Structure 1
Amino acid sequence: MMMEIAYVVFEKSTLWIAQYLPSFYSGLCALLISALTDLRMRQPLRQILTGSLVCGIFALSTSALLTWLGLPENSGAFLGALLGFVGADRLREIAIFLVYRRIGSNDKEDQK
């Protein structure tokens, strides 16, 4: 019984990966490049794990936008590599900047 459940889960997972391979590859590229960059900079293990997971999840979610933007799905590898090089800290800074620009705040004290 347990073997059948494990087989079904494995089969469904591989079918999902095959169907969304460009998005999966994009997230994997971002995760690995971010982790390797943080390792090179001698970051703590906790920061390496969380930062690379954030980059991977962000790349997975943004790779769905590629077709909406008119780009081919296989450009996800470039997107993942780009997000991995940018890193989680810089992605957060960019997001905060965009939010403050949208609401019209220029005060540096508001951003802290």
Structure 2
Amino acid sequence: MPPRSATDQTLEQQNEEELSSLHSKIKSLRSVTIDILDDSGRQNDQLDRTGNIFTSFGNSLFSTQRHHSRTMAASSTLRQYRTIGYIVGAVVALWFVLKLWHLGGGGKAPVDADYGS
């Protein structure tokens, strides 16, 4: 085997350094990939839990609506009108209270900056 020249040794050393640098980049990339995989797993779990919560809420809402429909169907028309009247009355009363609050000083007009006129 012929002796290696200084150029060959320099090239071999540069190759080793580049290989070491590449190995370090691969380890970094692997770590980032694992972190992304773990994060996507956590996000999928969160989405599953959120989906389950919304499904449960939808089922509860449907059950409440069905119960309300049965109650209203079984009750007299007078009870339905009374319920609608209570709702409309509450909205009108709230509007009236807010209107009085606004007129009574709850919503003050901006002060005019021009005092000399």
What TM-score do the two structures reach when normalised by structure 2? 0.25
Q: Which has the higher contact order (CA 8 A, sep 6+)?
A: 1
What TM-score do the two structures reach when normalised by structure 1? 0.26
Larger radius of gyration: 2
